[in-house]
Amino acid sequence: MNLEEQKKGGLGGLVVLFLLYLVVGIPVSVIYIFLVDALTEIYLCFFAAIAYGAIMGNFIVKVCKKRLRLSNTTGVLLVVVLGIAVLTYFKWNLFFALHDCRYYFWEANLDFDIFLDYEIFFAVFKDCLAAPGEFIGGLQWFNEVGTWSYGENPTQNVAGMLLTVIWLGEFAILAYPSISACFAKTTPKAAPLPNDILTVSAEGETLSVIDATVGGNAVLPVVDATAEGNAAFDDGGITAQPIPAFDDQNDTMAEISDIDEVLSDIAAPVSEAAPYTQADEDVYKSIADDEKDIYN
């Protein structure tokens, strides 16, 4: 795979990561908003935020980065930040629509039920999504009036600076796992080796190693392979080992003669061993009879 193909693959992996982040993040965000809205204890909301962050960070970003072999940390970070921004906008507008519907129904002396009045809810939600210019204004309004209370004075909603700090802490819990997962280490994918990775060509008394990578026909440094060859080529301190060369027929016959002498030395002890005699057979039979008597 050349550099251009690697860049294309990396871009495709980033696109897949972004799509998966949204495909999984949208339903998880819906569950999170309605769950937090239904919970009455603040510590339960805290655990819900931790679960949301773990799902999006450990399950989506970290797994996708590992499976898709995304080594471009900057690219992954930009994609995740973009995904966090989209989901944040989605969650807040879901929150706005939910409380707007409750307010409208409260003014009409009616009870709002998301399961019965879902058509009205989705209409309000679409209006919120289609009005990004009013997003900051909605945040400011909810920050001033608050939507929940705790402690001895349940009629006094948490608002102002305290609510801002809580919102920032919630955002950090939701986003930090995804951001930190961008910097997780991944094992680089090993490039497949071609069948003809090396081609060795003999040219007289030298050997040349051919680069067999895709699109590459460059000849690497030539190694002297003669009998006197102690040449080294500077490639990480690797020294070429001398290779015996048969300059003529006499050298070839000398090498073969040396091999015959080694083989004859190995076979000598076997040939010089005493032959197997009848006396040896009688001894073995006697030992076998004694063993039968012992077991009987």
pLDDT at residue number 113:
85
Note whether residue 207 is domain-resident.
yes
Cβ-count burial of 99 within 10 angstroms (0-12 exposed, 13-18 middle, 19+ buried)?
Answer: middle
pLDDT at residue number 219:
46
Q: Say yes or no: 210 and 175 in one domain.
A: no
How many other C-beta atoms can be found within 10 angstroms of the C-beta atom of residue 121? 20
Under 8 Å between Cβ of 222 and 208: yes
Under 8 Å between Cβ of 53 and 175: yes
pLDDT over threshold 60, residue 269: no
Separation of CA 261 from chain center: 58
> How far apart are the C-alpha atoms of 266 and 24, rounded to whole Å?
73
Note whether residue 164 is domain-resident.
yes
Q: Say yes or no: 286 and 226 in one domain.
A: no
Task: Please report which residue ranges of the chain form alpha helices under DSSP H.
Answer: 3-38, 42-54, 63-67, 73-107, 118-129, 135-145, 160-181, 249-271, 278-295
Under 8 Å between Cβ of 94 and 37: no
State the residue range of the domain holding 265.
252-295
Q: Say yes or no: 290 and 237 in one domain.
A: no
pLDDT at residue number 260:
56
Q: Say yes or no: 237 and 288 in one domain.
A: no
φ, ψ dihedrals at 65, nearest 5°: -65, -35
pLDDT over threshold 60, residue 191: no
Q: How many domains does the chain have?
A: 3
pLDDT at residue number 80:
96
Q: Say yes or no: 201 and 59 in one domain.
A: no
Q: Say yes or no: 284 and 206 in one domain.
A: no
Q: Say yes or no: 35 and 173 in one domain.
A: yes
Q: Say yes or no: 203 and 256 in one domain.
A: no
E-assigned strand segments in 151-228: 198-203, 206-211, 223-224
**Interval 11-58: pLDDT, tens:** 889 999 999 999 999 999 999 999 998 887 888 999 999 999 999 998
Q: Say yes or no: 49 and 158 in one domain.
A: yes
- In this prediction the pTM is 0.59
Note whether residue 188 is domain-resident.
no
> How far apart are the C-alpha atoms of 158 and 145, rounded to whole Å?
8
Last residue of a domain, one of 181, 204, 235: 181
> How far apart are the C-alpha atoms of 264 and 180, rounded to whole Å?
70
pLDDT at residue number 91:
96
Spell out a b/e string for 194-233, using b for 16 or more CB atoms within 10 Å of the CB, else e: eeeeeeeeeeeeebeeeeeeeeeeeeeeebbbeeebeeee
Note whether residue 46 is domain-resident.
yes
**Interval 128-176: pLDDT, tens:** 999 988 899 889 998 888 877 776 666 677 888 988 999 999 999 999 9
pLDDT at residue number 52:
96
Pairing of strands 198-203, 206-211: antiparallel
Note whether residue 187 is domain-resident.
no
Please give the residue that has the higher pLDDT: either 1 or 118. Answer: 118
pLDDT at residue number 236:
46
